[in-house]
Amino acid sequence: MSGSVSDYRSSGPKFAESDVIERIESYRKRRPRLIDEHITLAHGAGGKSSAALLDAVFVEAFRNPLLESLGDGAVLTLPSGERLVMSTDSFVVQPRRFPGGSIGELAVHGTANDLAVSGAVPQWISTAFVIEEGFSVAELKEIVADMATAAAVAGVQIVTGDTKVVAKGAADGLFITTTGVGVIPADRHLSADSVRIGDKVLLSGSMGDHGMAVMLARGDLALEADIHSDTASVSPLVELLLAAAPSTRWLRDPTRGGVATVCNELAQDCGLAVLLEEDAMPIHPMVKGACEMLGIDPLYVANEGKFVAIVAAEEVDAALAALRSHPLGAEAAEIGQIIAEPVESVVVRNVFGGSRMVDMLVGDPLPRIC
């Protein structure tokens, strides 16, 4: 299961409009089909059910080229030629405060990170609050203060917003929606189309901290562990990476669905395969132990302050050095590479040389983690 770096893709072909349309149609055919008649929690987990719902309902209704790229944000080209990224997200996490963070911090970090991994420098955020009748004003002030602090650290301004109050029992306390806008530097281009056989897969830090922290904070399990969410703005780390490894091909933050799901999305988009090395993937012992006790594969557990990067083989050492120079990237690791086949698939190889296929997330093992 290896591919030569002299593969035809190394020449970096340009795709005509007809090629792009053909790739989009091929992608649609591969995506899971919506067979459910009612919405389930699995439709919000970021895996197969989410993809099916997205395609059958939202993409079908709103179809346009900007939407159909299905990235973390839409890349918009202004008449002046400047490029922006716009991204939006909603946050419904329970509990609203958990070890290492809160719904307020998560709302800012989640949107800023979607902009950063799309290649943009985050600039502005709008926010909307759906507040349940009877919600504590003191708690609301704390959450808004968390957002203000997170925005200052991330270097973004919260410039507009909205509030709605609904009847008691209609919103589970508080829901927050944020939309962000960032500016893409003129010489920056990231896409799955640029991925080549032989490129390396990097993870900016340990897996699964956020999902496990939230799960244990709910107190529903007879399990205690000192696990803290990794929620943070990754924009400074992305800028360090791109300065050190300017040929970086692709970035994505592995939130809902985890590393496994974003690697599957990459494999489908680039038409190649992702080979991950099990013993190379960083994971804290307590997170690994909690996952084992709960029967959950850490590859599918959400992260809120990490990203997966595909970098050229010749730049991997510089990329890792840059990532590890920053506190957020201290545990950055090379976890795999891009190979030729099995096409559009993700394979995990263990220390004994055995391998297993890893699909997109099915179901929703950890609901309401963001």
CB 231 within 8 A of CB 215: no
What are 202's strand-pairing partners? 309, 334
Phi, psi of 316 (to 5 degrees): -65, -40
- Which is it for strands 250-252 and 308-311: parallel, antiparallel or unpaired? antiparallel
Q: Which among 294, 290, 284, 200 is positioned nearest to 249, based on CA atoms?
A: 200
- Which is it for strands 333-339 and 97-98: parallel, antiparallel or unpaired? unpaired
CB 205 within 8 A of CB 111: no
Query: Residue 285 has what pLDDT?
Result: 96
What is the model's pTM?
0.86
235: number of CA atoms within 13 Å, CB side? 24
Crossing angle of helices 235-244 and 316-324, in 10° steps, is 150
CB 335 within 8 A of CB 277: yes
Q: What residues contact 113, with CB distance under 8 A and at least 6 apart?
A: 233, 234, 235, 253, 304, 305, 307
3-state secondary structure of 36: coil
In this structure, how many other beta carbons lie within 10 angstroms of the beta carbon of residue 105? 27
3-state secondary structure of 92: coil
Phi, psi of 297 (to 5 degrees): -75, 120
Query: Residue 365 has what pLDDT?
Result: 75
Query: Residue 31 has what pLDDT?
Result: 59
Query: Residue 60 has what pLDDT?
Result: 85
Distance between CA 152 and CA 284 in Å, rounded?
29
CA distance to 23, 29, 30, 270, 344, per residue, from 26 (Å): 5, 5, 7, 12, 12
For 199-235, write each residue's pLDDT tens digit: 999 999 999 999 999 999 998 777 778 999 999 999 9
DSSP annotation of 304:
S
Distance between CA 210 and CA 298 in Å, rounded?
11
Q: What residues contact 44, with CB distance under 8 A and at least 6 apart?
A: 50, 256, 364, 367
Distance between CA 329 and CA 177 in Å, rounded?
28
What residue spans of the chain are helical by DSSP H? 17-30, 48-53, 60-62, 65-68, 103-117, 137-154, 209-217, 235-244, 258-270, 285-294, 316-324
Distance between CA 285 and CA 136 in Å, rounded?
37
CB 338 within 8 A of CB 316: no
Domains of the chain: 192-357 (3.90.650.10)
Mean pLDDT by 10 residues, the chain (370 residues): 34 39 46 78 76 82 84 90 96 96 98 97 98 98 98 97 96 96 95 97 98 90 86 98 98 95 95 97 96 93 97 98 98 98 95 91 79
Question: Position of tokens 């281009």?
Answer: 189
DSSP annotation of 115:
H
Provide the token pair at 254.
């592995």
